[in-house]
Amino acid sequence: MSLWNNLKQSVSQLSGSLQTSVAKFRNQDFAHASMAMCALIAAADGNIDPQERSRTASLIMSNDALRVFPADELRQKFDLYCDKLVKDYDFGRIEAIQAVSKLRSKPDQARAVLQVGIVIGGADGHFDERERAVVREVCHAVGINPAEFSL
């Protein structure tokens, strides 16, 4: 089986387990971290064009696992992190990673946020190396070995 087929199967499995996990983590830190992760994935290539931002927002709104949160709140948080990344990529990236890092002492929640990033990154059928690098960086920020996610 090719690497891409393995990745698609893994993303599918993550999506299913993610729905169960997210329902347990219905709190502000988790919601902020999830949207920070999504913004980081959207900006994986160093910028966020309007089409990519819109597509990622649509993926967030249609993601079954994130439906436990009000859609308007998710959109506002996602836009907040995207705006920060667009205004000043380096500082925006630091702030987004810090939002996820708040879950360092809650490894189950941190893993679920990483899964959100992987699902969003792979939703377009292409989980590229820049997106993988973002997930690896966030793994290190929350103290989780990227190898857990085959990264």
pLDDT of residue 127: 87
Q: What is the pLDDT along the chain (151 residues), one digit of tens a residue?
A: 444 444 445 445 545 555 555 556 678 899 999 999 999 999 998 888 888 888 888 888 887 778 888 888 999 999 999 999 999 999 999 999 999 999 999 999 999 899 889 988 887 778 899 999 999 999 999 999 999 988 8
pLDDT of residue 120: 86
Taking alpha carbons only, the member of 29, 21, 16, 79 closest to residue 50 is 79
pLDDT of residue 20: 54
Contacts by 99-105 with C-beta closer than 8 Å and gap 24+? 99/29, 99/32, 99/33, 99/36, 100/33, 100/36, 100/37, 100/138, 100/141, 100/142, 101/141, 101/142, 102/29, 102/32, 102/33, 103/29, 103/30, 103/33, 103/142, 104/141, 104/142, 104/143
Handedness of CA 3, 137, 30, 63 (dihedral sign): negative
pLDDT of residue 61: 83
Q: Quote the pTM value.
A: 0.83
**Domains of the chain and any CATH numbers:** 3-149 (1.10.3680)
